[in-house]
Structure 1
Amino acid sequence: MQQFARLHTDKGAVPVILKGTEHLDLRPIVSDISADSIAGGALIDVDTSRLSPIGGDFTYLAPIDGVRQIAATGFNYKKHIEEFKMKPPTEPEVFLKAMTSLTGPFDPISRGGDDGVKLDWETELAIVLGRETTNISAAEAADHIFGYVCINDISDRATQVDKEGQQHLVRAKSRPTYSPIGPYLTTGIDAMKLDVWTKLNGRFEQQGNTSDMLFGVHEMVAYFSSHMTLLPGDVIATGTPPGVGFGKNRFMAIGDVLECGITGLGAQRHDIRS
């Protein structure tokens, strides 16, 4: 397993690899963690023996610079489907979120919109692509996945469904700060055995495991690649466990604190602002 991150320091953005409690400077190997460095192969089996730890103060940035596509699916956890008393889908849903919704793992989340916003959480495992991918099989998918990150698919439920009952996922999920990712980009893990959790103001709202997915990560990459070309560094959010606010009619307000995390991918913390 390797864990990568990007830090904001007094010298700007610094790519790092974690070794125990240390953050080792990757700049002798790559200038940043980006689509180019992921595709180039320099971050595979990194030799840390000649890397030095980062000192001083820093904050975490989104762990990938220059993400070009944020793809996503919904209702991919069996217990989440049961929660809403829905019929299981026969194939994954496909939608995109605006790249401008992406933000870091400790940045504030802005409600945006007007006073009628119904701001909801959806902690999700996200796949990070390692190479250009088009029309592959599930058996080939492992060779196209670089690693995984935690993403929170923040949504405004007030704009997600119109008066006729039609879904509008892109507009509900694409405002600035609605896609926090990180803190770690992790490789070499079994993605189908990870705990996923969300807390609001210290109270657990979601507690699930990726083993409950209806469509696994390999199936997801294959399916998405049959409908679009995926690029190195692209992110595919794979759905959320039960416990979203929409099912409880409970939403986030200004002043709330949202926390979430996934095994091996670290934990996020966000203040909710106007």
Structure 2
Amino acid sequence: MKFVWYEKNGIKQLGVLQKEESHILSLKDLLPERGFLDLLDFIKRYTPEDIAVIRGAMEKEKPQGTPLTKVRVLSPIERPIHDIICVGVNYESHLKESTLGLKDPKLDGPKEPVYFSKRAVRILGTEEPIEGFLSLDDALDYEVELAVLMGKEGRDIPKDKVKDHIFGYTVFNDVSSRTLQKSHIQWYKGKSLDTHSILGPYVLFAEDAAYPPDFTVETQVNGELRQKSSTRLFIHDVDKLISDFSRGITLEAGDIIATGTPSGVGMGFDPPKFLKSGDLMECSISGIGTLRNKVR
């Protein structure tokens, strides 16, 4: 089951993809009495009965609802409840290239997860152009990541209970300004320029995904494959990340956790392959979808 936040005739609404993924079923039509406002509202209020109704509608042989080609797909969460929780250097290969590229001694083999936050007043969706801010920093980079959406509030979550707190998974492009990232020591500024958070295009319901997560992640820039890896290669798996982060910190339903990117980012090449105006980024995760965004 894949959830989609979309715009049709100027009206934003929540839906799910029909099983052939050619049409969208509106939750306003499937569950009119429930009055779900958006995905965050759904995450907080949905019931097993709601899921059963949706699954029943999805299984119909004949395509129902609105053709996907007739709508504009938006970020599943446009305005997050908090800053995005990001995990740094969570693949061994990216740890090596980051240590060299950022020249940061803190990255020399950290034994515990590296966390940082990313400000996102508004999160972009697929097909939306990003502002490069190349006059501010011309070392613009891409990072494909698996994003975990929390479905249930919790603190001090045991590893064997983490799965119960996850609503779903989606694709995240953690666009980064490397010069700012290095010059400010902390990464917040270099990670947080406007339009540099991209999410979507769909959210895969956790019940329909393997656990632990088993996805292939990749990035192409102008058709050139730059990144390709598997979430099986995480240094710290999802159980570890969420259990560890939640020690003494409350995670809320709707929180977004970006789990880190593999090697192949622009700064990892010699010479670096940073993004330029007009470049097309395509960030994909198997079984979820592809984010396509140009640099303006």
- After TM superposition, is the score higher than 0.5? yes
Question: In the alignment, what sits opposite 2:53?
Answer: 47
Question: In the alignment, what sits opposite 1:148?
Answer: 169
Partner Cα distance (1:177, 1:247) in 2: 23
Question: In the alignment, what sits opposite 2:40?
Answer: 35
Question: In the alignment, what sits opposite 1:262?
Answer: 285
SS in 2 for 1:47: helix
Partner Cα distance (2:248, 2:141) in 1: 28
Compared CA separation, residues 227 and 153, structure 1 to 2 (3 A): farther
Question: In the alignment, what sits opposite 2:187?
Answer: 169
Question: In the alignment, what sits opposite 1:59?
Answer: 72
1:68: Cα distance to partner? 1.1
Partner Cα distance (1:265, 1:167) in 2: 34
Give the residue type in structure 1 aligned to 2:199: I
Decide which structure has greater helix share.
Answer: 2
Compared CA separation, residues 158 and 83, structure 1 to 2 (3 A): closer
Question: In the alignment, what sits opposite 2:209?
Answer: 189
Partner Cα distance (2:47, 2:194) in 1: 31
* 8 Å Cα contact 1:33/1:65 also seen in 2: no
Question: In the alignment, what sits opposite 1:216?
Answer: 237
* 8 Å Cα contact 1:101/1:174 also seen in 2: no
Partner Cα distance (1:129, 1:223) in 2: 15
Farther off after superposition, 92-101 or 40-49:
40-49
**Which TM-score applies when normalising by structure 2?**
0.84
1:178 pairs with one of 190, 196, 209: 196
Farther off after superposition, 65-74 or 127-136:
65-74
SS in 1 for 2:2: strand
Compared CA separation, residues 66 and 127, structure 1 to 2 (3 A): same
**Which TM-score applies when normalising by structure 1?**
0.91
Farther off after superposition, 108-117 or 175-184:
108-117
Compared CA separation, residues 31 and 40, structure 1 to 2 (3 A): closer
Compared CA separation, residues 109 and 227, structure 1 to 2 (3 A): farther
Compared CA separation, residues 272 and 236, structure 1 to 2 (3 A): same
Give the residue type in structure 1 aligned to 2:209: I
Question: In the alignment, what sits opposite 2:4?
Answer: 5
Question: In the alignment, what sits opposite 1:244?
Answer: 265
Partner Cα distance (1:89, 1:27) in 2: 47
Deviations 1:13-67 (A, max 9, x none): 1211112122111114253433221021247634234585125721110113542
Question: In the alignment, what sits opposite 1:80?
Answer: 94
Partner Cα distance (1:111, 1:119) in 2: 7
Farther off after superposition, 110-119 or 196-205:
110-119
Give the residue type in structure 2 aligned to 1:64: I
Partner Cα distance (1:120, 1:153) in 2: 8
Compared CA separation, residues 8 and 167, structure 1 to 2 (3 A): same
* 8 Å Cα contact 2:218/2:283 also seen in 1: yes
1:101: Cα distance to partner? 5.1
Farther off after superposition, 144-153 or 225-234:
225-234
| Displacement over 6 Å in runs of 4+ | none
- Equivalent pairs counted in the alignment come to 269
* 8 Å Cα contact 1:125/1:150 also seen in 2: yes
Question: In the alignment, what sits opposite 2:104?
Answer: none
What fraction of aligned residue pairs are identical, expressed as a percent?
31
Compared CA separation, residues 41 and 65, structure 1 to 2 (3 A): farther
Compared CA separation, residues 227 and 205, structure 1 to 2 (3 A): farther
